[in-house]
Chains A and B, each alone.
Chain A
Amino acid sequence: MSGERTAVVGIGQTRHAAVRADVSMAGLVREAALRALEDAEMTWADIDAVVIGKAPDMFEGVVMPELYLADALGAVGKPMMRVHTAGSVGGSTALVAAGLVQGGIYERVLTVAYEKQSESDAMWGLTVPMPFTAPLVAGAGGYFAPLIRAYMARSKAPDHIGMMVAVKDRKNALRNPYAHLHLPDIDMKMVEDSPMLWEPLRYLETCPSSDGACAMVIASERVADAAPRPPAWIHGHAMRSEPTMFAGRDQVNPQAGLDCAADVYKQAGITDPRAELACAEVYVPFSWYEPMWLENLGFCAEGDGWKLTEAGATAFEGDIPWNPSGGVLSSNPIGASGMLRFAEVALQVRGLAGEHQVADAHKALGHAYGGGSQFFAMWIVGSDKP
């Protein structure tokens, strides 16, 4: 990775829930930010700059909410930026914050991402009719279901793989006190019996709508060396985007994802991600995206992703656990979902993931994607300096 060494020294997240009526949007982001500061043993005064991200303003109906949230996040008198890159935004936001440290501009940057879906309507927000544009009246699930069917046809994956992912991630969530969904009785039968929403996706194969926020303090080497708890060093990070409307795209296995992964692996010196990484937190909002991203991220050959899932390789006890926190399938405050992935792998390499700590987690991959599978943000963090 180029530039200054950069590390995560503080992490905080809210309890995620369908409705957090006990807090305003400001209260929600502040809850996560205060926990990150507490973890870093810092106060608001220690922070040089604030970078905030969330999904479309149209979800909550607040235009450029960073303006209103400046006070709640202690940003008054400081630089504040607002990132928006669709579903990948939580990841991109962390990368913009890390970039300020990496570029030598600041030493302690607070980054926060959130969504308060109970005060919004994502389905409406994604479905505003526009002239000359085909309306997406089915929300994100309706957009991705055909891509999943294409994947199933290509890879000859059996029908039950998606349900396996749904069960696995919800079981992992039982280890995570912050997760929105805690379903102690989850099993294949319960998933199979849930209503079909978008063939082949059943209700329990989709992510919930959550209120929640995530925050991190990202710091320079000098600050990280003096941090009270182990830092998570950033070994590589990248963003990639490709157009929506382009006949040459492969939306099932997008080039932007392949390129982004290749870039981040090169920076981190990874040649065999399955062997060299301890775990991964990958943006899987619909069950079938686990096998699809296993292939896109190079954890196996194209067409073999579902075999890893089926063999239990990605389970908590497997050789390459994916989403030990429970993932997006268990908590989905949209704008924060990407940052949660990035933060969870940082927790893993810091050894602070509690009940969902993976053993010997020295290096891990955080991943987020958005739009029509066209925006990607990734980082690799490690317990040792790069």
Chain B
Amino acid sequence: MRDVAIVAFAQSKHVANDAEHNEVEILMPVVSDAVEQSGIARHDLGFVCSGSCDYLIGAPFSFVSALDAIGAWPPVSESHVEMDAAWALYEAWVRLQHGDIDSALVYGFGKSSLGDVSEIMSLQLDPYYLAPLWPDTVSLAALQARAHLATSGRSERDLAAVVARSRKAALDNPNAVRAEDRSIDDILAEPTIASPLREADCPPVTDGAAAIVLAAGDLVRQVSKRPAWIRGIDHRIETHSIGARDLAVSSSTSLAGEKADAFSATPDVAELHAQFSHEELILRDALGLDGAVVNPSGGPLAANPVMAAGLVRIGEAASRISHGGAGRAIAHATSGPCLQQNLVCVLEGD
């Protein structure tokens, strides 16, 4: 494989409700920031790929409006996935393997405050047999949390510990929506909203965007002092039928990790797209992360810009390498109910 590196990462200052800006207005400065950081002229970027979801704003073609933000004139070589932008990064990484271009811009954005994300995402479910029952995301997540607690020997206290650690870590993250220093006992004193989950176990509603610039070949050295090299990237999907899966574990994360060579060395840091506290525990197990610092940014429990949150994980992990002294990092992104589909990206410094 051709070596590809992350040479720039930018994200919005995520907020719970950005009433003053539409998706494009949130995205535009973020794209400009990433392109500027990369030092690559916008029109020299070989490929552009994005991730978004029309249902967040409730109208088709979110990505069409976004194209107006990125300066697509003269016309650009461009594609879009209706998936978290982590998969757009994967597509761009594949495109760079062709060898004819050396750079790509990737971005994702989402304004979750406009609707009820938990209800909207129930429209992801089998439209004939499951969606008509309107099971919301939190209820489905609670089923998975219950399954995990029942088989892992962990308790609600372990869930609360994830929440406490994540939001405390987020105090150092200027882009976090929810950062606080709160005791485990205080969290456990909250009532459950879908047992065993409490409101604290759930991600904050977040509006935001993120962008990454990838480079390959000689260009990497020209534009970056400390690039974050993509050593492996893979993604896998599981059956959609929740009843047919072992919800206590994430087999597709383990498989993607294996294919991305995540297990050959212990990472210094991992950024996991764990939107609920129990998901972090499942993903830690799936990726064997004992000894790694997990979600130093606070993770999705601190800021969860839907459709960009997976890409933010990759960007945060890359930042730990480029600016934080980490040597090896793992980033993870997910899509679908109860971690149905998972992407693992292994990053290293020089």
B227–chain A nearest beta-carbon distance, Å = 20
Cα separation A69 to B78 with both chains bound (whole Å) = 25
Cα separation A112 to B94 with both chains bound (whole Å) = 19
Decide: A79 and B237 in contact? CB cutoff 8 A. Answer: yes
B266–chain A nearest beta-carbon distance, Å = 25
* Chain B residues positioned under 8 Å from A75 (CB to CB): 237
Cα separation A326 to B280 with both chains bound (whole Å) = 52
Decide: B73 and A2 in contact? CB cutoff 8 A. Answer: no
A147 within 8 Å of B by Cβ?
A: no
Cα separation A238 to B57 with both chains bound (whole Å) = 30
Cβ < 8 Å to A, chain B residues 76-105? 76-83, 87, 90-91, 94-95, 97-100
Q: Which residue of A lies closest to B337 (CB)?
A: A67
Residues A104 and B1 in contact in the complex (CB < 8 Å), given A3-B100, A56-B54, A125-B60: yes
B341 within 8 Å of A by Cβ?
A: yes
* Chain B residues positioned under 8 Å from A25 (CB to CB): 127
Decide: A239 and B77 in contact? CB cutoff 8 A. Answer: yes
B68 within 8 Å of A by Cβ?
A: yes
Residues A3 and B98 in contact in the complex (CB < 8 Å), given A82-B82, A241-B78: yes
* Chain B residues positioned under 8 Å from A63 (CB to CB): 53, 55, 120-121, 123-124
Residues A85 and B80 in contact in the complex (CB < 8 Å), given A62-B124, A130-B59: yes
Cα separation A351 to B90 with both chains bound (whole Å) = 35
Decide: B98 and A103 in contact? CB cutoff 8 A. Answer: yes
Decide: B58 and A79 in contact? CB cutoff 8 A. Answer: no
Q: Which listed residue (A67, A103, A125, A256) contacts B336, Cβ 8 A? A: A67
Decide: B75 and A255 in contact? CB cutoff 8 A. Answer: yes
B264 within 8 Å of A by Cβ?
A: no
Cα separation A376 to B231 with both chains bound (whole Å) = 32
Decide: B82 and A64 in contact? CB cutoff 8 A. Answer: yes
Would you give 12 A-B contacts (Cβ < 8 Å), ordered by A? A2-B98, A57-B54, A60-B127, A64-B124, A67-B335, A70-B239, A71-B239, A81-B90, A83-B82, A86-B61, A96-B91, A102-B98
Cα separation A79 to B74 with both chains bound (whole Å) = 33
Decide: A57 and B82 in contact? CB cutoff 8 A. Answer: yes
* Chain A residues positioned under 8 Å from B53 (CB to CB): 57, 63-64
Q: Which residue of B lies closest to A102 (CB)?
A: B98
Decide: A2 and B64 in contact? CB cutoff 8 A. Answer: no
Decide: A77 and B61 in contact? CB cutoff 8 A. Answer: no
B238 within 8 Å of A by Cβ?
A: yes
Chain A, interface size category, equals 35 or more
Residues A83 and B79 in contact in the complex (CB < 8 Å), given A64-B124, A241-B67: yes
* Chain B residues positioned under 8 Å from A60 (CB to CB): 127
A126–chain B nearest beta-carbon distance, Å = 6
Decide: A67 and B127 in contact? CB cutoff 8 A. Answer: no
B161–chain A nearest beta-carbon distance, Å = 30
B245–chain A nearest beta-carbon distance, Å = 10
* Chain B residues positioned under 8 Å from A59 (CB to CB): 60
Q: Which of the listed residues A3, A68, A259 has the most CB atoms from chain B within 10 Å of its own CB?
A: A68
Residues A70 and B238 in contact in the complex (CB < 8 Å), given A3-B97, A86-B64, A128-B60: yes
Decide: B240 and A77 in contact? CB cutoff 8 A. Answer: no
Task: List 3 tightest A-B contacts by C-beta distance, closest first.
Answer: A103-B97, A256-B75, A56-B60
Decide: B75 and A259 in contact? CB cutoff 8 A. Answer: yes
Decide: A244 and B67 in contact? CB cutoff 8 A. Answer: yes
Cβ < 8 Å to B, chain A residues 82-113? 82-86, 92, 95-96, 99-100, 102-105
B53–chain A nearest beta-carbon distance, Å = 7
Cα separation A284 to B227 with both chains bound (whole Å) = 45
B43–chain A nearest beta-carbon distance, Å = 13
Q: A82-B83, A104-B97, A248-B73 are in contact. List 5 more A-B contacts (CB 8 A).
A: A96-B91, A103-B95, A103-B98, A241-B67, A374-B64
Cα separation A60 to B55 with both chains bound (whole Å) = 12
Cβ < 8 Å to B, chain A residues 1-45? 2-3, 24-25
A80 within 8 Å of B by Cβ?
A: yes
Decide: A79 and B234 in contact? CB cutoff 8 A. Answer: yes
Q: Which listed residue (A78, A84, A128, A243) contacts B81, Cβ 8 A? A: A84
Cβ < 8 Å to B, chain A residues 279-304? none
Q: Which listed residue (A2, A57, A240) contacts B77, Cβ 8 A? A: A240
* Chain A residues positioned under 8 Å from B91 (CB to CB): 81, 96, 99
Q: Which residue of A lies closest to B48 (CB)?
A: A241
Cβ < 8 Å to B, chain A residues 204-257? 238-246, 248, 254-256
* Chain A residues positioned under 8 Å from B236 (CB to CB): 77-79
B46–chain A nearest beta-carbon distance, Å = 11
Decide: B59 and A77 in contact? CB cutoff 8 A. Answer: no
Decide: A76 and B238 in contact? CB cutoff 8 A. Answer: yes
B293 within 8 Å of A by Cβ?
A: no
Cα separation A157 to B97 with both chains bound (whole Å) = 45
Residues A241 and B335 in contact in the complex (CB < 8 Å), given A62-B131, A79-B234: no
Cα separation A126 to B64 with both chains bound (whole Å) = 12
Q: Hey, what's the 0/1 contact readout for B235-252 against A, CB within 8 Å counting as 1? A: 111111100000000001
B1–chain A nearest beta-carbon distance, Å = 7
Decide: B100 and A64 in contact? CB cutoff 8 A. Answer: no
Cα separation A130 to B64 with both chains bound (whole Å) = 14
Decide: A99 and B98 in contact? CB cutoff 8 A. Answer: yes
A371 within 8 Å of B by Cβ?
A: yes
B340–chain A nearest beta-carbon distance, Å = 6
Cα separation A75 to B340 with both chains bound (whole Å) = 12
B51–chain A nearest beta-carbon distance, Å = 10
Decide: A83 and B81 in contact? CB cutoff 8 A. Answer: yes
* Chain B residues positioned under 8 Å from A260 (CB to CB): 75
Q: Hey, what's the 0/1 contact readout for B122-146 against A, CB within 8 Å counting as 1? A: 0111111001000000000000000
Cα separation A104 to B95 with both chains bound (whole Å) = 10
Cα separation A69 to B127 with both chains bound (whole Å) = 10
A158 within 8 Å of B by Cβ?
A: no
Decide: A83 and B80 in contact? CB cutoff 8 A. Answer: yes
* Chain B residues positioned under 8 Å from A352 (CB to CB): none
Decide: B61 and A56 in contact? CB cutoff 8 A. Answer: yes
Cα separation A248 to B71 with both chains bound (whole Å) = 13
* Chain A residues positioned under 8 Å from B87 (CB to CB): 81-82
Residues A68 and B239 in contact in the complex (CB < 8 Å), given A125-B60, A242-B75, A244-B64: no
Q: Which residue of A lies closest to B82 (CB)?
A: A84
* Chain B residues positioned under 8 Å from A239 (CB to CB): 77-79
A353 within 8 Å of B by Cβ?
A: no
Cα separation A228 to B243 with both chains bound (whole Å) = 39
Decide: B235 and A79 in contact? CB cutoff 8 A. Answer: yes
